[in-house]
Structure 1
């Protein structure tokens, strides 16, 4: 009997593993083979006549209101005290998040102002910005209102006002700059370059590999990032910024930190260079800052060399737009390409998964609800035959526990990855526990199947003795089978393919 259970359980696990592998899509990122030639580790951008270093001026701030279409936002202006003549200006475009001038770009805006550049940090418009809906073209039009306001301020040279974008803002800045001479220059910091869906897959892969997760967890990337999320929306996730970059004719400063695992640091710079060259634009400069993170920060502080170089580049334009060295700083490393993400098949799209989870929940609740109703009505006769309740309960509970732990495991690992931390006990031990619970569910299901079959063959006894027992059996079997299939889809069972 034990050998029969062991052999059948092993076969069931192999079949579930094969089901998960065949359900697709797979995950096999393309290695990054292209390189970018860094000319020198010195990021300094040559000083030209009329440029002033950071700290030259005291800085005064004021708050203005920017009128948008159907709304308004406040913006903070930072100005150099006592600076003579018309000054260049910069409007900062936020990355993901709420984007308040009280918290965002404080160091960058103050540093540039102290070097004689008038800066403007508007609050992000939030009434049209949600997790489910973002319109980068509309956002670009909103930020252009800030550009126009800054161009009209006293002491600002309207022909020398540019825009600074960081992360998600680098999908907005090219829209603002394309075919638009009112934008004098652009600074793209930690630019994703590829559509958000590709960027998300690249970042998740990079973070998870750094955390040391099993390869089976990596295979879940396209099955999550590639799906259409429940309830629709999220159209922006496939926004392609490349056509706008190919119409940028302004000088562009491209900035990455070599400690930024979330961005395609080599691919991004090469793509922007290629795109602006398509526009006939020779004015590009690339800088890599050693160990700097996504915000060009080292140990939580904005890199001072970055601030120095940015101030010199802005003030030195147009000469600094194409001055040597074109590419400088630390050597970047990018292991894989940020590539298009395969879509899951119809049965694994977001709405279908939600429907499946609801069905599973209802199915698994049948047994405890039936038991409770029978108890309240005073029924003491067993609803199931002897030997059936224990493996049935173990199968259901262990399958549900495996899936619940799988979700918790992903959340914990994501937290570790985002904070650049590793924990072998959590990463490896947690995955082993998820698999162990799934295996227990399979074994319990096999034991249940043999007990039901043996009861019918040898003793002519049905597994259920009452109508309620029949519903308990059907609900638990249906819910557990669906859960095991779902666990197989998420690669919990080892695949031999």
Structure 2
């Protein structure tokens, strides 16, 4: 009898020791399994990012950007005036800068704004003055803003609006109406080819930092390029097609897939295409190659390409518009038609483009931005609802509302459940906040062409550790619920606390899946 009791005590001690020893192992193993499951979910839920390397780049035949057959430039005094331009349903103002003392009608240039410019008082100041000083009449109209928003942009209609400015400049005294062309920068590169196709009288086209590819493709290319320059971990790139490829929340943005190719293939005018080698946002090689090929479809071979060393998106070096570019621009315009096909056709600094700007894969499951935002907000609402229900229930109990029960019979969470449940909800929410902070931080670094390993590398590690901590809390909660189930006890007593438990658990689970979708739990899958 004594031996039997002693044997039972020994087995119980061994069971307790085994349970204690197995606890950390079970936690680590279960957490690892949970992370793997989330990693697999994240991989299969959306497209990967695998850009194609650019091969056979456009050859640059000369390091000098000088325009062949360009005349020697003179310098004139400049006179400015402001005119009204009547559009369909609106009137805008435009500033005309013109040389003083010309003895013959001059060529004219109408400027087409990019996304970051809009008023003649601040846009294209250096370019317009340089053209006017060289003997060219330059017109900078204000951008029409009543039909231009972040969500809605109609490039064909915008081309029609800018063509009204072309018509005004043609009628301006001292301008040769058959030698009026357009200068388009950045976003304007989607507008100018439309103008030139609809209005064949346009004499020439200057495309500066032109995207050429559709806006969505250019955006993905720019994000990829900026992130590589910033040095982010490879795992972050998965977010590119999932963010850029989905429909954006709130609707609109139809222009994201505007394709200018059909218009470029109908060009007949001479084209000067300009890029800066310091511009990481544009496909500087692919854009020139594509325009040359598109123009050739209609027999237009008069495309001149120039690359300027270290110049940024606005062809600025150290904040100042390149003087060499301004010289070449004026010489090319004044020398037409002789400069249209003058050699070298492609010249300047050697540009770099590592990957091709290509169509962006569309997310299979979370391709609707409204659903993505609604899912996150709904999950956060559930996390808030859980504690709120408990607080309301406690308030009702303290106020004596409802059926009175002895203290030991009142509905409660089982011991160990509240802090585990709180840890799960707080961990999931903290990871979402951390991920948002990280993305905003690297976006700022990327746009400023800066690197900061503490943010770029350390921030990503911190976000992933927060995610793992949330998974640990989920595992601990599941283990506790299982223990209670074996003991035939409930994790949450009463309807209110059951609802609160379900709300926090469901909201946290959905957030973890969303975080997996955005790459927080990647394991190279």
Tell me if both proteins adopt one fold, taking TM over 0.5 as the criterion: yes
Q: From the superposition, tell whether residues 197 and 43 of structure 1 become closer, same or farther in structure 2 (CA, over 3 Å).
A: same
TM-score with structure 1 length normalisation?
0.97
- Equivalenced residue count is 493
Report the Cα distance in structure 1 between the residues aligned to 2:60 and 2:367, rounded to whole angstroms: 44
- Which residue among 366, 383, 389 is the counterpart of 2:412? 383
Q: 1:101-250 residue pairs with structure 2 within 5 A?
A: 101-178=120-197, 180-250=199-269
The residue number in structure 1 matching 2:9 is none
Q: Does 1:437 align with 2:466?
A: yes
- Which residue among 378, 387, 409 is the counterpart of 2:438? 409
Report the Cα distance in structure 1 between the residues aligned to 2:151 and 2:273, rounded to whole angstroms: 29
Provide the aligned C-alpha RMSD in A: 1.2
Stretch of structure 1 that moved more, 91-100 or 135-144: 91-100
Report the Cα distance in structure 2 between the residues aligned to 1:2 and 1:446, rounded to whole angstroms: 12
Q: Is the 8 Å Cα contact of residues 388 and 451 (structure 1) preserved in structure 2?
A: yes
SS of 1:99's equivalent?
coil
The residue number in structure 1 matching 2:517 is 489
The residue number in structure 2 matching 1:463 is 491
Report the Cα distance in structure 2 between the residues aligned to 1:346 and 1:439, rounded to whole angstroms: 24
What is the CA distance between 1:376 and its match in structure 2?
2.8
Report the Cα distance in structure 2 between the residues aligned to 1:438 and 1:382, rounded to whole angstroms: 32
Deviations 1:404-451 (A, max 9, x none): 110111011011001100100001111111111110110111001111
Report the Cα distance in structure 1 between the residues aligned to 2:131 and 2:319, rounded to whole angstroms: 19
Report the Cα distance in structure 1 between the residues aligned to 2:243 and 2:489, rounded to whole angstroms: 45
SS of 2:384's equivalent?
helix
Q: 1:313-332 residue pairs with structure 2 within 5 A?
A: 313-332=332-351
Gaps of at least 5 residues in structure 2 are: 1-22, 399-406
Report the Cα distance in structure 2 between the residues aligned to 1:496 and 1:85, rounded to whole angstroms: 68
What is the CA distance between 1:290 and its match in structure 2?
0.3
SS of 1:165's equivalent?
strand
The residue number in structure 2 matching 1:87 is 106
SS of 1:77's equivalent?
strand
The residue number in structure 1 matching 2:429 is 400
What is the CA distance between 1:181 and its match in structure 2?
2.4
The residue number in structure 1 matching 2:116 is 97
Q: Is the 8 Å Cα contact of residues 69 and 342 (structure 2) preserved in structure 1?
A: no
SS of 1:219's equivalent?
helix
What is the CA distance between 1:348 and its match in structure 2?
3.9
Report the Cα distance in structure 2 between the residues aligned to 1:346 and 1:455, rounded to whole angstroms: 36
Report the Cα distance in structure 1 between the residues aligned to 2:260 and 2:391, rounded to whole angstroms: 58
Report the Cα distance in structure 2 between the residues aligned to 1:366 and 1:235, rounded to whole angstroms: 36
SS of 2:179's equivalent?
strand
- Which residue among 23, 27, 30 is the counterpart of 1:5? 27
Stretch of structure 1 that moved more, 356-365 or 254-263: 356-365
Report the Cα distance in structure 2 between the residues aligned to 1:349 and 1:364, rounded to whole angstroms: 23
Q: Is the 8 Å Cα contact of residues 16 and 485 (structure 1) preserved in structure 2?
A: yes
Deviations 1:190-215 (A, max 9, x none): 01010000000000000001101111
Q: Does 1:449 align with 2:478?
A: yes
The residue number in structure 2 matching 1:280 is 299
Q: Is the 8 Å Cα contact of residues 179 and 248 (structure 1) preserved in structure 2?
A: no
Q: Does 1:474 align with 2:502?
A: yes
Q: 1:295-306 residue pairs with structure 2 within 5 A?
A: 295-306=314-325
What is the CA distance between 1:466 and its match in structure 2?
1.9
Q: Is the 8 Å Cα contact of residues 21 and 495 (structure 1) preserved in structure 2?
A: no
Deviations 1:387-415 (A, max 9, x none): 00011101100100101110111011011
Q: Is the 8 Å Cα contact of residues 59 and 113 (structure 1) preserved in structure 2?
A: yes
Stretch of structure 1 that moved more, 5-14 or 40-49: 40-49
